[in-house]
Structure 1
Amino acid sequence: MVHAYLLAFSIMAGVPVLLHMLKKGQPKRIIFPAMRFLLERQQKSRRRSQLQNLLLLLVRVAIMLLACLALARPLLPNPGIDLGQGAMVRAVLVLDLSPSMGQKQGQSTPLDEARRLVGEMLGRFSPESKIQLLRGDGEAVSGATAADVAGESGWGNVKRARQQMEGSRLIASQGSVVPALRKGSKLLEEAAKEGSEGVLNLLVVLSDRTRNSWQGAGAGQLKLPEGTEGYWLDVGGEAVPHVAITQLVLDPPAAAPGSQVRVQVELRARGEPPGGKTAVQLSVGMDNDPDVAKPAEKKAVELTTAEPVKLVEFVRKVPLLPEGEKEGYFQFTARVQPDDALPVDNTRGATLPVRREVLVLAGNPEEAEVLKSAMDALRRHPVEVRLLADKAAWVPQELAASRVVWLAHLENPPQELWNNLESYLRAGGSLVVLPPAGAVAKPTAYSNAAADAVLPAAYGALEVLPALERGWKVGGWDAVEGFTTAIQKLVTSGQADFSVKEYEPLVWRARRLGEPEAEARVVAKFEGKPDAGPLAIIGKVGTGRVLQMATGLDGRLFDNNRGWNNFYTDSSIGLVLVDQINRDLAGTGSQASSANWVARFGQKPEVDLPSLSPAMIPLRLRGPGLQGEGSDLVIPEKTNRLVMQDAEEPGNYQVRTAQKRLVRAFSLVLDANETDLDKVPLEEIEEWLGKGRVLTAGKGMELDDLMTGQWQGDLDLLPWILALVVMLLAVESWLANKVFANKDSAEGAPVPRSAA
């Protein structure tokens, strides 16, 4: 745009010419005898004066022309996108909120730079522009109220986008921005169908360009909609060396009170450490240790270029639970000192569920010795053996304190035990019944009404193979039930020793199981045994499950110097079977796994709620990023599984009742790859966006400088013209001084004239 009428003032460029003509000087003639030398000097002085006068004239003309041009305010067209002031756009802005965006760079972080650039960009858009500000997972960045949302498919305006920016914060589960790119492309493609005349479609990513931010890009081909301008603004700066805690493992993952737990911490040096080595101090403490005076344990660790990863182990005794409590949680925090440029991975939490996970009821300790040893060896199932004679061991409160109860070959379980077990099962417990070893054809203690209410099938006669016979082969593992499915996979894969014929599981002694009830299912069988009954049956009582076995797992030897089977002597099937049964029925880990979560895209921590009385409500979630007493939890009506939507920052969390009693706890940790700051190659992103569309934003760099060569229109030349005018005025002053100094010198010098 040019104000052409103002160019008429350019006629003033003739003023300097007129002045020069009027002020033209004439040298005075003076008689002087030294003719030859003075004439040469006069000629040189005249030529220099003429050249200086011409240059001065040109400079003055240029100043006048530039002054007129400045009044006309010329604008230089620049090929690229049109983001001049007040531009009308339809923009999807993808803001990377992954923890790596919290890397310290002086007094700011990549997230601070991203917010600043988005603010500058929004300042260029017209108020009527349509904006979508998305997180990496494709959800809208929080911060705007519903009243600020323009109805059209969630498209908002500039005001709403600014509010969203104010509410933005780092989220542990935000890694890749690819989901947001797919959603943004789809939104722009759909919006373009409604017409885009006079509107610029824009897709801009603001990220640190780490490898994790581009994860999943190859799973589906990204495609930029036709007519859309796309840019990736890399705000990450240079990756700096730092130390990360990449793992914090508790072994076992769930423990009994008073037992020992190993706390294993993996430290990793990322980047090249200064001088080839980094020395840090690692501390591990228990957040809710009943002994509040007990300090965190500390160890000095040195990481080098040759050994950038180290595993450091601590051993802690699990405290006893408060009196009257049957289960609880202890939470550990590992910390590296001093803090570095990425403090988010200098700490890591882990939660240890503490309870008796398995209760084994036995007639005497020897009958449960092998079974307990198998569970202890795997260190996954906190187990306690109690004797049947101790009636206090199987009262309803004690049974309810265990996830699974094993009846280890009891000869005469009383009717009261069966009644208590039925109540326990209806409340969601699990039971494993191993057969009695006696030779009674039909054990009466297992065939009364109370036992029938619990067992899925009746026990029959005891069958024993002669000493010289090889044994009944075990097979027919059910493909539906959890623990048998796992065993069947091991058999078919050939990965287990018992999948080889020489070590296949064999049974020599078994008690026949009758026909299972209607809701029960056979999950394992004997192969090659004529008229064989099932090896294992699983049934349901209320919401609980009962596994009934035909053969034993106690490892004892009988008269023929054979035990129940070869499960412990010839292969690992015994250990695997015990482990898988507890994994499935006791949830080994279901408790441990629900207590420790790795932040993943689209996944939130979940916990199983205990039975709640009205007085315990409301439940509140406490943890990182939650203010005061924490956030109130909405309890679902049809399930006891509760999703923790507000757990977004890494750390240790607790669920507490209205009386502040701890009922559940869990930890949320970062994916170890999230703090790997290595950049994804430019070529991979440019393959999607196009050459030159990945721009590196230096710290504090203005949007105009960053997008040089990308903008179109409204490139105002006035500042450049004024700068040039100032330079020319300086040159004009210098030349004028030279010209008039020479003139004065010429006027004072004698001018030779020829003698008459």
Structure 2
Amino acid sequence: MQLANLSLLVGGLLIGVPILLHLVMRQQPKRIEFPALRFVRARQVQNQRRLELKHWILLLLRCCIILLLALALARPSVSSASVSSWVMVGILAFGAAIAGIIAAATWTVGASRGLAIGMTGLAVALLIGLGIVTPMALSAGGGGSLGDQEAPVSAVFVFDTSPRLLYQHENQTRLEKAQEMAVWLTGQLPPESEVAVADRRTGASIFAADIGAARQAIQRLEVSAGGESIDRVVSQAIDLADSSEKKRKEIYVFTDLSEPAWKGAAQSDLKRKLADHPDYPLYLIDVSAVDVRNTAVADLQLSADSVSKNSDVLLQVDVAHDGPEASQTLELYLEQPDDTLPIVEDGKLLLPKADRRDRRNLQLADGETMSVQFRLADLPVGVHNGWVSLAAVDGLDADDKRWFTLEVREPWPLLIVESKPGAGRDLINAIAPPAFQESGRAPFAVDVVTPDTLERQELDGYRGVVLIDPGAYTNSVWRKLDAYVERGGGLAIFLGPSATPALAQLNAEEPQKLLPGKLARQWRAGERLWYLEPKDYQHSLLAPFREIGDSVPWRSFPIDRHWSLEDLEPDANVVIPYSDGMPTLIEQRVGEGLVLTFTTSIASDESPAWNNLFTGFDSWPFFVLSNQMARYVVRSGEERLNYFVGERASLLTGPQQAEQTHLLFTPRGGDPQEVIPDRGLILIPFTDQIGTYRLRPLGGGPLLGFSVNLPPFATQLSPLPPEELNEIFGAERYQLAKEQSEIEREQGKARVGREFYSPLILLVALMLAMEFALSQRFYRQEA
């Protein structure tokens, strides 16, 4: 326990004053000459004992008052919440004990009934308070460090270094404001303290060698687009403080307290960890600006990262605004194709020239988010880079621009194998309509063959193969298909009536390398209603249906017949089941490739019809699903060209560049890095810079690239509601400060700890009232 005024404890020696007064001023019984009657003598002894008991009660009260007053003036305190609870238990227990003794004495000495009842009631009230506080102390646990304002501390400074902290207010960024306050704070720490500096990029690692080194680390802080979430860094800071040998620990978090900074923090274990360390004060230093005025290009989405030639690309841009109503201009830029760039000359990165393709004038209100759509058309084949930016400058430059990359390519080559002529007509009309093929806008270049010619067909030139109603293929055909999939090809199998006479062949060894299980039997619905019934829409195949979910009218397209499979492979994944629970669409990885198996027929002019998937009224659900399946088979979804910061990027090279070294140019420039593909795949694990990354193969070849942006609305500056702070940290588990004076006040409270001056003075006042009431009653009776 810490005592703020240790010398005042000497005042406890004044306890001798009431003892001395008691000895000097105690009354001697008067000797009265009277007949020696036994009754009178007994009465005299009884009165004398009562008088002595009264004086002993008053003596006890006066001694306790002096002791408690001296202790209160010494201002005792502790820094541990658990210890403070037990100290309060002790104070209440002491008060209840004194009140109980006096209550018992008032009944013994024959005091007035009202006085005795009042003292008894006071004792009971203190006992009830003791019963309330004791369980709280037991639940708080035990142990804690002693408060000492001048004792050295282990302080961990945590900085939110996201791009939001570049917001300018009063000619100072929020990061500069945080650095200024942190440097000042290092001067407020007691001598021999130690400081660790942590941010989203480096995390919490070690304590600095001294305060000077800590100040240098603070001044060297820079904004980082990537890194750990701020709640995880705070959790690491607690672990780092645990490793220190100093008894007092303090955590300081410098943040703008905006919503994106703590998104998802309520679901982390930070609140639990803080509850496990009740003696570690947590200070939230709010460095946000008071009057926010900012316009942000909050999000950008492409209709597709990769499109076939002669197709249009739509850009959906969200612009968010905070502050008074303002006008802004949004501009779209696209780089000119140039196979000779980028290069580095004299340490400077040279990029292709960019042309402004479109611009929009916007009128924005406070808190409004406006969606703007741009269209890019007539783009040549190749990779294209561009950006969307605001023309006017505002308080935060980091969110005034968003980059994008898209690829225009030749249609994906797709081979369709028909069991009979025209069987794949409905599928072809869905994925590559003839009108689109004639205009060059079809996403697939479709070739159609029969099973007889499949054995002679070269497959390596195709991105995917589709088998419609396969039957008794030869083993050599199945081996050829298996080798194609093993090398990374995609295969889609639509089972139909031709499987019935070829059931034994399809369940043989070679076909079973590609099929997810053995064909069991053909089922018929009869009077029952069967239809496709996805359980959820998390698979990328079902992404277009996620927003509408259960409102997709699958029941309107009944299934009359389908195949069932048994002994499914362990790695087979049922993407869509029927309403009867049996699998409809099954995905399976085979080697480097994949196989999709659909267990009902899509062959045209099937008699009798197996389903109404293509023939039902307004059959758009299966039209969308068949396009998704075709894209999934050719792996178009894997050609992602736009990422969020921190994500791992992957790119597919051309066949001639599958093992060719590429030069990687990052958005910040500098010397390019050499990257070697792994069987045509380039992985970029670190994307901590926002902007466009470019790859140029050594020796020539098509340029590659991708863009990295902040997550949508990552620079939103709206403050976090107070109730969410309680959800993240726990109520009364943190101290919020914005100015230096608030930090000093909260520091003082924490370092001195919890003081017991108030409850001790209250107890002194209570005992003074008891002493006054008893002395008035006792002395009046003596008189």
For the superposition of Structure 1 and Structure 2, which TM-score range results when normalised by the shorter chain? 0.5 to 0.7
Aligned to 2:224: 171
For the residues of structure 1 that align with 2:254 and 2:630, how far apart are their CA atoms?
47
Aligned to 1:371: 427
Cα shift at 1:213? 2.8
Report the secondary structure of 1:233's partner residue.
strand
Aligned to 1:629: 671
1:552 aligns with 2:608: no
Residues 609 and 209 (structure 1), Cα distance of their counterparts in 2 relative to 1, 3 Å cut: same
For the residues of structure 2 that align with 1:306 and 1:388, how far apart are their CA atoms?
61
Given the alignment, which residue of 466, 469, 493 partners 1:433? 493
Report the secondary structure of 1:361's partner residue.
strand
Q: How does 1:412-423 map to 2 (within 5 A)?
A: 421-423=481-483
User: Which moves more between the two structures, 364-373 or 445-454?
Assistant: 445-454
Aligned to 2:331: 283
TM-score normalised to structure 2 length: 0.59
> Is this contact kept in 2: 1:231–1:695, CA < 8 A?
yes
Flag the structure with higher helix content.
2
Q: How does 1:5-20 map to 2 (within 5 A)?
A: none
> Is this contact kept in 2: 1:441–1:460, CA < 8 A?
no
Given the alignment, which residue of 638, 642, 650 partners 1:596? 642
Q: How does 1:43-192 map to 2 (within 5 A)?
A: 88-105=152-169, 107-122=171-186, 129-136=193-200, 139-140=203-204, 157-158=210-211, 160-162=213-215, 164-165=217-218, 167-173=220-226, 177-188=230-241, 190-191=242-243
Identity %: 19
> Is this contact kept in 1: 2:558–2:611, CA < 8 A?
no
> Is this contact kept in 2: 1:205–1:231, CA < 8 A?
yes
> Is this contact kept in 1: 2:284–2:734, CA < 8 A?
no
The letter for the 2-side match of 1:305 is A
Report the secondary structure of 1:301's partner residue.
strand
> Is this contact kept in 2: 1:269–1:303, CA < 8 A?
no
The letter for the 2-side match of 1:184 is A
> Is this contact kept in 2: 1:99–1:174, CA < 8 A?
no
> Is this contact kept in 2: 1:93–1:132, CA < 8 A?
yes
Aligned to 1:340: 394
For the residues of structure 2 that align with 1:226 and 1:490, how far apart are their CA atoms?
44
Q: How does 1:697-708 map to 2 (within 5 A)?
A: 697=739, 707=743
1:496 aligns with 2:552: yes
The letter for the 2-side match of 1:235 is V
Residues 367 and 321 (structure 1), Cα distance of their counterparts in 2 relative to 1, 3 Å cut: farther
For the residues of structure 1 that align with 2:331 and 2:220, how far apart are their CA atoms?
33
Aligned to 2:250: 202
For the residues of structure 1 that align with 2:456 and 2:690, how far apart are their CA atoms?
40
For the residues of structure 2 that align with 1:409 and 1:663, how far apart are their CA atoms?
40
1:424 aligns with 2:484: yes
Aligned to 1:388: 449
Aligned to 2:309: 257
The letter for the 2-side match of 1:604 is E
Cα shift at 1:676? 2.0
Given the alignment, which residue of 358, 361, 377 partners 2:416? 361
Report the secondary structure of 1:218's partner residue.
helix
1:644 aligns with 2:644: no
> Is this contact kept in 2: 1:137–1:178, CA < 8 A?
no
Residues 101 and 543 (structure 1), Cα distance of their counterparts in 2 relative to 1, 3 Å cut: same
Structure 2 gaps, min length 5: 1-78, 80-146, 340-351, 750-783
> Is this contact kept in 2: 1:353–1:591, CA < 8 A?
no
> Is this contact kept in 1: 2:557–2:611, CA < 8 A?
no
Report the secondary structure of 1:284's partner residue.
strand
1:674 aligns with 2:727: no
Aligned to 1:63: none
Residues 460 and 120 (structure 1), Cα distance of their counterparts in 2 relative to 1, 3 Å cut: closer
Residues 439 and 162 (structure 1), Cα distance of their counterparts in 2 relative to 1, 3 Å cut: closer
For the residues of structure 2 that align with 1:521 and 1:691, how far apart are their CA atoms?
49
Cα shift at 1:450? 8.0
Cα shift at 1:177? 2.8
The letter for the 2-side match of 1:696 is K
The letter for the 2-side match of 1:388 is V
For the residues of structure 2 that align with 1:217 and 1:648, how far apart are their CA atoms?
21
Aligned to 1:19: none
Residues 388 and 528 (structure 1), Cα distance of their counterparts in 2 relative to 1, 3 Å cut: same
For the residues of structure 2 that align with 1:528 and 1:347, how far apart are their CA atoms?
51
Aligned to 1:243: 295
1:351 aligns with 2:405: yes
> Is this contact kept in 2: 1:620–1:657, CA < 8 A?
yes
> Is this contact kept in 2: 1:178–1:214, CA < 8 A?
yes
Aligned to 2:616: 569
For the residues of structure 2 that align with 1:156 and 1:585, how far apart are their CA atoms?
57
> Is this contact kept in 2: 1:231–1:689, CA < 8 A?
no
> Is this contact kept in 2: 1:362–1:388, CA < 8 A?
yes
The letter for the 2-side match of 1:597 is Y
Cα shift at 1:459? 8.9
Cα shift at 1:454? 5.2
For the residues of structure 1 that align with 2:378 and 2:481, how far apart are their CA atoms?
29
For the residues of structure 2 that align with 1:447 and 1:459, how far apart are their CA atoms?
7
The letter for the 2-side match of 1:387 is V
Cα shift at 1:100? 0.8
Cα shift at 1:282? 1.5
Relative contact order (alpha carbons < 8 A, sep ≥ 6): 1 or 2 greater? Answer: 1
Cα shift at 1:255? 1.6
Residues 545 and 678 (structure 1), Cα distance of their counterparts in 2 relative to 1, 3 Å cut: closer
Q: Over the residues paired in the alignment, what is the CA RMSD in angstroms? A: 5.5
For the residues of structure 2 that align with 1:128 and 1:105, how far apart are their CA atoms?
35
Residues 289 and 579 (structure 1), Cα distance of their counterparts in 2 relative to 1, 3 Å cut: same
For the residues of structure 1 that align with 2:421 and 2:313, how far apart are their CA atoms?
25
